[in-house]
Chain A
C-alpha cells in the first residue's frame, strides 16, 4: 500500500533562513505527489505538485520541491522563509486506481523572528 512519511513533526527556523521539509513515499510506480499547507483552523492550500517531467517543481509562495526517484523523496524547499510561512505542511501521494489522496502526518513549521 502507498504511504507517505514526514520524519519531522516540528521544524523551527529563523526568518530569512532556508528551509527543507522532508517527505518520503512508498509506491510501486511513479506517483503523483503534492505538498499542501494548512494554516490553523483552515483548509488546505496546494503549494505544488509533481506528475511527470522535470523533477524540480516550482510552486506558489516561493516554494519548490524535487522529486528523487532513487531516494523515494519529494522534499520541499524555500530559500528564505517569512514569518507568514509558519503553518502545517502536508506531503501527499495519490493512490492510483481509486484516486485517494494519502497524507503524511504533517510537519509544523515555526519561524523565529
Chain B
C-alpha cells in the first residue's frame, strides 16, 4: 500500500519552544492530509484537515494559533506546536489518502511522541 512517513518519531522539548512535525506521502500525492492527537490509552481525535495550497480546516476546540498546519506541497504537510506546554505532550499521527486508488482508505504515519518538559 501507499506509505506515509512521519518525522520525528520522538521529540522532547522545553516549555515555551516550538516543535515541527513532518508528514510525507512517499509514493503518492496527497491533496488532503489529516492530523490526529492521541492521549494515552485514548482514541484518535481529529485535530485538523490539511489541504494542499489552502488553509487547514480545524476541528472545534482546536487552537489554530497553537497548532499551525502547512501543506505546502502534494507530498508534505507540517504540524507546528507553538509555545509548547506540558499539556501538549501527546502522540500525534497524520494520515493521507491516495486519490489515485479511488477509495477512501487512509494511510497512517508512524506517529510522533511529543514530550514537553
Contact B104 A44 (CB under 8 A): no
Interface size for A (C-beta < 8 A) is: 23
Given contacts A43-B6, A44-B93, contact A103 B113 (CB under 8 A): no
Given contacts A100-B49, A101-B34, contact A44 B108 (CB under 8 A): yes
Contact A101 B42 (CB under 8 A): no
Contact B43 A101 (CB under 8 A): no
Chain A residues contacting B117 (CB-CB under 8 Å) are: none
Contact A99 B44 (CB under 8 A): no
Contact B49 A90 (CB under 8 A): no
Tell me whether A82 is interfacial, beta carbon within 8 Å.
no
Label chain B's interface by main secondary structure: strand
Contact B113 A41 (CB under 8 A): yes
Report Cα–Cα, A43/B111, bound state, in Å: 5
Given contacts A32-B104, A49-B105, A101-B95, contact A41 B111 (CB under 8 A): yes
Chain B residues contacting A101 (CB-CB under 8 Å) are: 34, 46, 95, 106
Contact A51 B106 (CB under 8 A): no
